[in-house]
């Protein structure tokens, strides 16, 4: 039995963790914390969980996690680093769904996240939890930095082409569309229905916090200095990430050849599906899959990559559980194919 605690269970990511973990007979969710909802029943906040759990949200107390196998941290960036140090030595494994341990440089973190890193000493101990890239490293980690939703879509889309040297490392352009659940549950005017409905807008152009994450991971994997433009857009959908990626080809290659390369690269990746058609968000909604489509544009000499994920599953809770499965030497798909 894997004994689990969730820190920050009242947000969308925490709710997805509960939805996916509660049906598993090999997992026991023993406690869930949420500062603003402490004392409230979990199923009162999320009626879809009625009859599935008697848990009540608690205030965070590190001592309550003593002896647990896994602590999932589902907090906004800047909050995870406040609690993770207190869990070291108490919990066997910590999986952080926020951004606090994804970047190895505290200076870069401060530049993009706009606050100082207060647990920089733990950064060298964190393993970037993209299973398709770091599966073996995750197996031996106590602290797993779960990738961001945008980076998951972009990195999985680009990895084979960059690692195999098919495209240029410079001048990559990523345009990504996100559903509004990626912004969390906090209320704001700009996230209200009347502002979002029948509207699309870009945001954080050129300074989004996921830019260094995407660049550093792809640079490390390819062994080359990767540079790219990343423009996120908010669309009036609840969930989903859809990325359109343009990269310049290094040599003439056909669409079929690139598809074969991707199929070979991801042959042991159960949650990456290389499609011979255009991916759709509805094909991945509620699942842990990343669907990838590929098209060579001979006229421009570019490779166009289309990548779709559910931001709350493969982009957050599902990938975190995939990492948990790896930590406990379980099939990656366990609890994620329903």
CATH code of the domain in which 223 resides = 3.30.360.10
Are 155 and 72 part of one and the same domain?
A: no
Q: Does residue 337 lie within any of the structural domains?
A: no
The DSSP line for 81-135 is HHHHHHHBTTBSEEEE-SSTTS-S-HHHHHHHHSS--TTGGGGGGEEE--HHHHH
> Could you tell me the CA-to-CA distances from 179 to 5, 20, 81, 116, 315 in Å, in that order?
27, 20, 26, 28, 12
pLDDT digits (tens, 9 = 90+) for 191-244: 677 777 888 899 999 899 999 999 999 999 999 999 999 999 999 998 999 999
Under a CB-based contact definition with an 8 Å cutoff, are residues 99 and 81 in contact? no
Whether residue 196 is contained in a domain is answered as yes
Query: Does a structural domain hold residue 335?
Result: no
**Residues 17, 133 within the same domain:** yes
3-state secondary structure of 177: strand
Percent of the chain with pLDDT over 90: 91
The pTM of the full predicted model, rounded to 2 decimals, is 0.95
Verify that 267 and 320 share a domain, yes or no: no
290 assigned to active site: no
Q: Annotated catalytic residue: which of 18, 103, 138, 149?
A: 149
Domain of 261 in residue numbering reads as 150-311
pLDDT tens, 75-131?
999 999 999 999 999 999 999 999 999 999 999 999 999 999 999 999 999 999 999
Q: Would you call 132 exposed, middle or buried from its count of C-beta atoms within 10 A (0-12, 13-18, 19+)?
A: buried
Residues 267-281, mean pLDDT to the nearest whole number: 97
> For residue 177, is it within any domain?
yes
What confidence score (pLDDT) does residue 192 get? 72
């Amino acid at each position: 039995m894997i004994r689990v605690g969730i820190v920050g269970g009242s947000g969308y990511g925490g709710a997805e963790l509960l939805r996916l973990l509660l049906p598993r007979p090999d997992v026991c969710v023993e406690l869930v914390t949420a500062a603003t909802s402490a004392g409230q029943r979990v199923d009162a906040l999320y009626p879809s969980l009625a009859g599935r759990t008697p848990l009540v949200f608690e205030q965070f107390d590190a001592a309550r996690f003593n002896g647990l196998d896994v602590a999932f941290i589902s907090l906004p960036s800047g909050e995870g680093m406040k609690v993770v140090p207190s869990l070291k030595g108490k919990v066997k494994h910590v999986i952080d769904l926020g951004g606090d341990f994804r970047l190895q440089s505290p200076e870069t973190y401060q530049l993009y996240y706009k606050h100082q890193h207060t647990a920089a000493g733990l950064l060298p101990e964190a393993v970037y939890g993209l299973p398709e890239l770091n599966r073996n490293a995750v197996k031996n980690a106590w602290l797993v930095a779960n990738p961001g939703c945008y980076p998951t879509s972009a990195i999985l889309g680009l990895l084979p082409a960059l690692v195999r040297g098919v495209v240029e490392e410079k001048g990559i352009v990523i345009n990504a569309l996100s559903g509004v659940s990626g912004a969390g549950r906090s209320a704001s005017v700009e996230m209200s229905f009347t502002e979002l409905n029948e509207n699309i807008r870009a945001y954080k152009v050129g300074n989004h916090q996921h830019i260094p994450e995407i660049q550093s991971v792809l640079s490390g994997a390819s062994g080359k200095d990767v540079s790219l433009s990343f423009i996120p857009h908010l669309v009036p959908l609840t969930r989903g990430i859809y990325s359109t990626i343009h990269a310049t080809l290094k040599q003439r290659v056909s669409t079929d050849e690139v598809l074969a390369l991707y199929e070979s690269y991801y042959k042991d990746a159960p949650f990456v599906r290389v499609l011979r058609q255009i991916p759709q968000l509805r094909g991945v909604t509620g699942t842990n899959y990343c669907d990838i489509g590929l098209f060579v544009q001979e006229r421009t000499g570019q490779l166009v990559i289309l990548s779709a994920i559910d931001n709350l599953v493969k982009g957050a809770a599902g990938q975190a559980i995939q990492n948990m499965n790896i930590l406990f030497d379980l099939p990656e798909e366990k609890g994620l194919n329903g």
